[in-house]
Amino acid sequence: MSDQLFLGIAPKSDAGKEYMFYSMDDWIEVHQFICAEVDSDFPPHPYMDEESSEMLARHLTTLRNYGIAHAYFVLRLRTQILRGDEASRDDDCDLPSEVPWLDEFSVEVERMIDLVDGYIGFLRECGGCNVDGLVYEE
């Protein structure tokens, strides 16, 4: 399992020193959320100065507070379930007339919201950030 470590450039507190996504799949999900809802050109391995990281934190906070983050991750899970059903069905069969709704507060959705919240906290306190091990040209 691969992970993704973000390092703060000028941390304002311990919360801004580093933030780890322990699974690259988790970072990919959060990255796709940012691309879909904030900036379609957001790089997969971002370098951000202090202003950019604070601006992203504000955008993500707004999306979380208005329930958009929650709705996004519920939709992603429902889409994955539907695609799984389509892949496993016979070509002669229709899709089921009822697709079970995920519990509004499913563990997986809440886990993704917690990851977004952690990333927001890091972005607010990091004073700019980069990805561990990557060299960025100026």
Cα 17 from Cα 11, distance rounded (Å): 5
CA dihedral 106, 43, 21, 33 (to 10 degrees): -10
For range 119-134, the mean pLDDT: 92
- pLDDT by residue (tens digit) across 6-21? 999 999 999 999 999 9
Enumerate the domain spans of the chain: 4-9+25-88+100-131
Average pLDDT of span 113-118: 97
Whether the predicted pLDDT of 87 surpasses 80: no
pTM, 2 dp = 0.83
pLDDT band at 68 (very low <50, low <70, confident <90, very high): very high
